[in-house]
Structure 1
Amino acid sequence: MPESDNPPRDTAGRYARYLNPSEAPIRTESTICANCGTERPRAVSHRCAAPGLLTLTAATERVLAACRAAGGQPLIVGGSVRDALHEGAHQPKDVDIEVHGLTGYEPLSRELGKLGSVDLFGVSFGVLKLTVDGEDFDVSLPRRDSKTGDGHTGFDVEVDPTLDEVAAFGRRDFTVNAIGYDTAAGELVDPYAGIADLHDRVLRHTTAAFSEDPLRVLRAVQFAARFDMTLAPETADLAASIHDEFPHIAKERVWQEFRKLARVGVTPSRGLDVLVQTGWITWFPALNDTRGIQQDSTWHPEGDVFTHLSLAADEAVDAAARYELDAEARERVVLGAMLHDLGKVTDTQFHDDGRITSHGHAESGAPVVHDFLLSIGAPVQTAEWVSTVVQFHMRTAANQGTKPSAYAVRKLARALGDVPFREWAAVVDADQAGRGPGAKISPAAQWLDVYENGNGRPRISILRGEHLMSRGMAPGKEFKPILAASVEAQDAGEFTDEAGAVAWLDKHLAELS
């Protein structure tokens, strides 16, 4: 079972960061390359040596060779290069390649076709897709995007072989994604100083074209969470200027960005910071309304509800790791922690003696969480599971730190239904840890111990409909409350076998008559 008797990792640091954000260095007129140390301006050609940065698979080598055979000069671009710089030399997956020096797709398609089937569907977006030895590749040519309509899909794409590296990379969203790698020369291509921004953990747009695609703001949210980044002020201003473009983003794309934040974000609160900084938080009113909702400092010295949710989301990342949850479960746990106190918006009360309470907020918050998740495109099952955890995240409060009975644990497990008990425990852990200087040891470990090792798992109902019919009852709506009451009695230990169940039934029917 995961350790849970230790204080949460780096709580004080996260708390201080959230209340007093420390901006990483912002370099605008000139910057220093974190790879070669050269001082240089942005938006100019810059290459520097980085031999061995990427370990290429045989499939990648074959695709690069095909691009050269077509007469082009291929560069590996985007996430593969960014992640290698961020995580160290590694073997990239899902490689993106940009091929310079070609006037069209025909020779490239012909050479790539020798390696496998080339998907031409993406040509209208400037991309050829193929799979080689089970590895996926996107191969593109330098191109211009012309804004022709609303939202993130209203573009015409035109291949332009005259574009140099500066112009070609300028169509990418952020400087950290506008870094290329020339495998033939062993050189990094970094016209927008993305290496420096990655080193400084600053998320910055490449050009003013950023504002043409509102989806990029939500990408900023998940990238900030994923790489623990702050948003450059000028990028925040640009994002704020397209605030009203949000309705043009398809709901499924909104969900994709929130899902990435929850699945791979290392500091989800950074993403919430971006929503606030850009003003886009107003498009998510259930979250926005928690800002300024004060809490009793005895229990929550960290600040308002929004601050607590932000810190809890960060702690959920650690909790999911401790419980060894997979990506799908981690997603639900992070979202559960991020949303678990939405009910405080309506249930918070301020008393004359200075106390602040929010009785019933877990129950009232569950449907709010459910509706919020559906509004951002989450699957119905995700909304149901997360809202169920939220509904019961305060269940430990009834025990006031004492070890729960097997009955209490079985009752909770039945209420959770299909929701794994460990996911509930992880959200409770995050709630307790996400209180800044008021972080507490979570009681969830005791509940989980009883569940897994102390007779806390619900058993199959002993009393069945056939027992009711043996007492002369006809199947009907009267069965349901009696069977539900029998489950309650069974969990409470009033009977443990069939004979005891029948005896309980006779007594119960006598009381009803």
Structure 2
Amino acid sequence: MDDDVRQPAPGLLQLGSGVTAVLEAVRSAGGRPFLVGGCVRDALLTPGRRPADVDVEVFGLGLDQVAAALKTVGRVDEVGRSFSVLKVLKVRRDGEDLDVSVPREDPTTPLREAARRRDYTVNALMFDPVTEEVVDAVGGLADLRAGVLRHTGPAFGEDPLRVLRGVQFAARFGFRLAPETAQLCRDLLPAYAGLPTERVWGEWRKVAEKGRHLSAAVAVLVDSGWLATVPQLARLSGVRQDPRWHPEGDALTHSRLAADAAAALADEAGLTGDDRTVVVLGALLHDLGKARYTQHRADGRITSHGHAEGGVPLVEELLTSIGAPAAVIARIAPIVREHMTAITTGGRPSAAAVHRLARRLEPASITEWSLVCGADHAGRGAGSGPNPTTSWLEVAASSEVHQRAGRPLLRGRDLVALRLTPGRQFGVVMRAAVAAQDDGEFVDHAGAVAWLARMAADGRLAQLVASAPDADRG
């Protein structure tokens, strides 16, 4: 412990009433509490912020003694007892969540040994609330200054998920892997298959919800060898693009830059949670189809016709493999399918075209689609350009499309009123009604009924019904 580096840091952490109460209770029981992990790391990166999540590690007391001390503060949940982790419930004050732990081996464990049980050195920094010093037992301060992710010791390999934690730390802070840690991560690659998908998604979700340096995250995937865990993305490495449109390099480079741009655009738009996830991952994965659809023509041009629609199965496959929720996949897939629409259509779109696009994008929104398209064009290095969807957003606003296409205005009971029998013919008529609605032929239910009456009067409804395969004419 004499070898530990202590750096004075008065006022580093602004502690609320919940944390203060826990620290006082532990000290009163004879323990030595330290703030550890992310709250210390984040305070050093951005001083002056009050941490929302606080980890406290207690030395000098056994697990039962800590539990007894904390009962004076609030209810204690001991579900993590096998891991020597206690979660203090109902001690949420000033927006603080508290996790309290003791060293797994022994409450008398030296600080250095406890620090070496953590994943990366930048997460093994401790803050002594009594002396107001940062305690650095494993070189975390130097690595934090250098932006390096270095494993603390042999215990790193006990949980292979720590590699993906490194990916999300890179996404959030722009960190890179130390060479020896990259090698250890490569050695751990076979263990990926045994990780539960819910844990895998937990790290990817943080990448998408909190990441601002997606290029750094992909770099960690590459250096660690764990890009192989998402083979659909890995196949973009080395896929050449037409330098006229993509001077930045191969398709993987473009995907990284587009994801960086998407994170910035999502933040500008104030997106959080699943909304941000859809935009960031939509941008990262939008060109997966290029691995299959890129062609090198005899005249030297490189094309990828069909890659947008062809990439959808690959996107769904990748997202499913990392445990993404079905609702998130359902929003990303149509954005990927439609990300070339504004380019291939050309000119200012009609209101009908925007309505039809909104319908195809459901359950994603026009805004989410626009942000991904904007990121696509901003992620081309020297070839970056303005968002090609601006006019689409303008038309959407003026024609009251807003975020998502409206529900079909014609209803099944309207068809029943004309004595049509439910069946395949219903689907044919309803699709025609939706197309007419998107074309602006009617804007409310009364208009939809009037449209149907006109269709019946001039014989077009009968023609539609007759076109239904094997329809029951009624």
Q: Which moved more, 1:167-176 or 1:207-216?
A: 207-216
Aligned to 2:48: 89
Give TM-score, length-normalised by structure 2: 0.91
Percent identity over the alignment is 47
Quote the Cα distance in structure 2 between the aligned partners of 1:461 and 1:333: 27
Give TM-score, length-normalised by structure 1: 0.85
1:408: Cα distance to partner?
0.7
Aligned to 1:419: 364
Question: What is the CA deviation profile of residues 109-141 of structure 1, one whole-angstrom value per residue up to 9, with x for unaligned ones?
Answer: 111111111112212101111124424322122
Matched, 1:296 2:248: no
Equivalent residue for 1:111, pick from 66, 69, 72: 69
Higher RCO structure (Cα 8 Å, ≥6 apart): 1
8 Å Cα contact 2:241/2:251 also seen in 1: yes
Cα distance change, pair 121–463 in 1 and its aligned pair in 2 (3 A) = closer
Equivalent residue for 2:82, pick from 124, 128, 142: 124
Aligned to 1:270: 216
Name the aligned partner's letter for residue 325 of structure 1: L
Matched, 1:483 2:430: yes
* Secondary structure of residue in 1 paired with 2:86: strand
* Secondary structure of residue in 2 paired with 1:354: coil
1:253: Cα distance to partner?
0.9
Aligned to 1:155: none
Equivalent residue for 1:428, pick from 365, 368, 373: 373
Equivalent residue for 2:280, pick from 327, 331, 334: 334
**Any gaps of 5 or more consecutive residues in structure 1?**
1-41, 144-158
Quote the Cα distance in structure 1 between the aligned partners of 2:2 and 2:189: 26
**Any gaps of 5 or more consecutive residues in structure 2?**
467-474
Aligned to 1:79: 38
1:504: Cα distance to partner?
3.6
Cα distance change, pair 469–229 in 1 and its aligned pair in 2 (3 A) = same
Equivalent residue for 1:169, pick from 115, 136, 139: 115
Name the aligned partner's letter for residue 125 of structure 1: F
1:431: Cα distance to partner?
0.8
Aligned to 1:140: 101
1:207: Cα distance to partner?
1.5
Quote the Cα distance in structure 2 between the aligned partners of 1:236 and 1:380: 32
Aligned to 1:20: none
Aligned to 1:258: 204
Q: Superposed, which structure 2 residues align to 1:420-459 within 5 Å? A: 420-456=365-401, 458-459=405-406
Aligned to 1:394: 340
* Secondary structure of residue in 2 paired with 1:427: helix
Question: What is the CA deviation profile of residues 128-176 of structure 1, one whole-angstrom value per residue up to 9, with x for unaligned ones?
Answer: 1112442432212223xxxxxxxxxxxxxxx323321111111111111
Aligned to 1:219: 165
8 Å Cα contact 2:200/2:322 also seen in 1: yes
8 Å Cα contact 2:35/2:128 also seen in 1: yes
Cα distance change, pair 472–48 in 1 and its aligned pair in 2 (3 A) = closer
Quote the Cα distance in structure 2 between the aligned partners of 1:440 and 1:114: 60
8 Å Cα contact 2:330/2:363 also seen in 1: no
Matched, 1:377 2:334: no
Q: Superposed, which structure 2 residues align to 1:197-208 within 5 Å? A: 197-208=143-154
1:84: Cα distance to partner?
0.5
* Secondary structure of residue in 2 paired with 1:168: helix
1:367: Cα distance to partner?
1.7
Matched, 1:508 2:427: no
Name the aligned partner's letter for residue 440 of structure 2: G
Name the aligned partner's letter for residue 305 of structure 1: A
Aligned to 1:98: 57
Quote the Cα distance in structure 2 between the aligned partners of 1:93 and 1:510: 64
Aligned to 2:292: 346
Quote the Cα distance in structure 2 between the aligned partners of 1:78 and 1:43: 21
Aligned to 1:56: 15
8 Å Cα contact 1:43/1:191 also seen in 2: no
Question: What is the CA deviation profile of residues 60-103 of structure 1, one whole-angstrom value per residue up to 9, with x for unaligned ones?
Answer: 1110011111111110000111110011122222211111122x
Cα distance change, pair 381–462 in 1 and its aligned pair in 2 (3 A) = closer
Question: What is the CA deviation profile of residues 453-507 of structure 1, one whole-angstrom value per residue up to 9, with x for unaligned ones?
Answer: 3344545544444444454432221111122012212322345534344224534
Cα root mean square deviation, aligned: 1.9
Q: Which moved more, 1:481-490 or 1:340-349?
A: 481-490
8 Å Cα contact 2:209/2:272 also seen in 1: no
Cα distance change, pair 111–325 in 1 and its aligned pair in 2 (3 A) = same
Aligned to 2:355: 410
Quote the Cα distance in structure 2 between the aligned partners of 1:343 and 1:82: 39
1:413: Cα distance to partner?
0.6
Cα distance change, pair 124–346 in 1 and its aligned pair in 2 (3 A) = same
Aligned to 2:471: none
Quote the Cα distance in structure 1 between the aligned partners of 2:417 and 2:18: 69
Cα distance change, pair 171–397 in 1 and its aligned pair in 2 (3 A) = same
